[in-house]
Amino acid sequence: MKKSKTVIAMLMALTMTAALAGCGSSSGSSSAASSGGSDAAASSAAASSAASEAADTSAASSEAAAPAASGDETTYTLAVVGPMTGDSANNGTQFQRAAEMAIEEINAKADGYQLAIVVGDDQAQPNQGLIVAEKFASDDSILGIVGHNNSGVTMACLETYSQYGMPVVSPTCTATDLTEAGYDNFFRVIMSDKDYKAQYAQLGIEKFGATKPAIFWENTDYGKGGRDVVANWLEENGIELVEDLSYNPSTDRDFSAQITKMKESGVDLVYVLSGEYTAGALFTKQAKTLGLEATLFGAGDCYNPNFLEISGDAGEGFHCLTAFDATNPAENVQEFVKAYQSKFNEMPGEWAAHAYDTVQAYAKAIEAGATDRASCIEKLRDVTFEGVSGHIEFDEKGDVVGKETFLTIIQDGAFVADES
């Protein structure tokens, strides 16, 4: 007789509406890429298209959450939760697609168990995240969470997950505080800001020879956390921060005031800490229109095909430090990229890569003997493997160790490795 246990993989996209950032559909689904545009209306249309598809695939996945199995196989269901609607819907779509792709591959080889998924939409909002968290955590048939995408959403939900003893593995949440909060059930497969953004700050100065840097950041806990790491590094190294300008990710789509200040100050480098691709792409487009002559340098939040669509020609030359590079020649990376492209007609971003590795981490824990939430948490502590996003292994706090970053640049409408 088949036993059923549900493993939720809450996979959340990197966008932030009012929340703090962290940072597939079924195989027959089409790409959720934006159609592009020259202004905020175009970006909204792109988000609507992605959101519609994500909602459709979410429903389909939920209906298929308990696939038939034979013999003594146990089915563990992974719940994909993230911003499936809104400006960052493509991030959630990438999470879902990559999770389903990983599950398909795992199930073809698994001995004695199968994986499946259900999907939840946290809308990149802490309040909505709590609703989803309570729903899944209180269901004792669910083994664990893959999510969230947004650090602020995750922080709001961690106490709920902890109360239910639910393991949580985030693909993309980078806020340092998440692993400093004392929760022993939380893990992440992406570097924390204290390491990631410190590298980012240093590279901006050393790579581009900047002397008059500015920071453009979203006014959320996540955005402020990244901003603080960069600003502190600059101060410690005797470099003046010329402009320190924030925006409200829930309402602001016109950045002309910030760009004008940067022009007047003669800024030669802008750290674009947008938290999600829509704002970053619109800032880039507006900076080009207004004639800002500065190097624009984003973090992984901008490494998304929809960034390319929205920014258009203005995106040429935009640099991005990401935790995943789809042009990395490593064999496992290229196998993943080709498979994802073949299924979804879209290049995977770091959301897809990290979601894929998160599902693989759960599979490794199950193969090591995890059968319930408590044993899953224990087995995750010992997981170690080479994922498509790099080395996966967790320290005592749940931070991933041994990861590297990649410098990319947009050339001819695509992200490529910056080897200059």
Convert the pLDDT of each residue in 210-253 to its tens digit: 999 999 999 988 899 999 999 999 999 999 999 999 999 989 99
Q: Is 3-191+330-393's fold the same as 194-325+406-417's?
A: yes
Share above pLDDT 70 across residues of the chain, in percent, rounded to a whole number: 83
Please report the pLDDT score of residue 73 as a whole number.
86
Q: How many DSSP H helices and E strands does the chain contain?
A: 12, 15
Query: pLDDT, tens digit, for every residue of 268-294?
Result: 999 999 988 999 999 999 999 999 999
CATH code of the domain occupying 3-191+330-393: 3.40.50.2300
| CA 69 – CA 173 distance, rounded (Å) | 34
Helix (H, G, I), strand (E, B) or coil at 234: helix
Determine phi and psi for 213, rounding to 5 degrees.
Answer: -80, 155
Please report the pLDDT score of residue 65 as a whole number.
34
Please report the pLDDT score of residue 29 as a whole number.
32
Angle between helices 126-137 and 151-163 (to 10 degrees): 30
| CA 370 – CA 167 distance, rounded (Å) | 11
CATH code of the domain occupying 194-325+406-417: 3.40.50.2300
pLDDT exceeds cutoff 80 at 98: yes
Residue among 52, 18, 92, 37 nearest 315 (CA)? 37
Strands 145-146 and 295-298, bridge-based pairing: unpaired
Helix (H, G, I), strand (E, B) or coil at 33: coil
Instruction: Give the mean pLDDT of 7-16.
Output: 38
Sign of CA dihedral 282, 284, 287, 291: negative
What is the pTM assigned to this prediction? 0.81
Alpha helices in 183-301 (DSSP H): 193-208, 221-236, 256-265, 277-289
What does the angle CA 297 – CA 302 – CA 303 come to, to the nearest 5 degrees?
A: 105
Domain ranges of the chain: 3-191+330-393, 194-325+406-417
Query: Strands, DSSP E only, in 122-203?
Result: 145-146, 168-170, 186-188
Mean pLDDT score of the chain:
85
